Amino acid sequence: MRTRERPYSVLITDDDVGHREALRDIVEPAGFRPVLAASGEEALDIVREQPVDLALFDMHMPRLTGLEAVQLVHQINALLPCILVTADASEDLMRRAFSVRAYSVIPKPVSPQMLLYTMMRAIMKAYGPPNDDDEVT
């Protein structure tokens, strides 16, 4: 059985500081360690420099969209589970998201329960179920 010495880290990437902080305010009390990025480029630097267990990307950001960021992040860490968050969850976007191996697409406004449930499913798929010593509830 695997053990963890730290909480799961979640990279939250959104160019809107209010949305970034709102997502942080959902994941942090649930036992995750949030790492915030204001752009896709900043997210790429973070993934290169420190361990990240899961990544959340806003779809509509300047320069790099969430889709483009997921694609580039997977060039750095092919196994990192990535979730897109968007106000425009169309069928076309869903198709494109899955083509770049996004784990899921979550619509805005974000339901905290849906977000945490989806994150835990992505983590379990990537790393196996958490054990009793894990801090995430």
Task: Encode pLDDT of 80-128 as tens digits.
Answer: 999 999 998 889 999 999 999 999 999 999 999 999 999 999 999 999 9
Poorest-confidence range of 3-7, 10-14, 99-103, 126-130?
A: 3-7
Ordered by start, the domain boundaries in the chain are: 9-127
Under CATH, what is the fold of the domain 9-127? Rossmann fold (3.40.50)
CB 30 within 8 A of CB 137: yes
DSSP letter string over 58-100? Answer: ES--SSS-HHHHHHHHHHH-TT--EEEEES---HHHHHHHHHT
More confident residue, 130 or 70: 70
Mean pLDDT of the chain: 92
Helix (H, G, I), strand (E, B) or coil at 5: coil
Q: Are strands 104-107 and 9-13 parallel, antiparallel or unpaired?
A: unpaired
Mean pLDDT score, 7-18: 97
Residue 4 has pLDDT above 60, yes or no: no
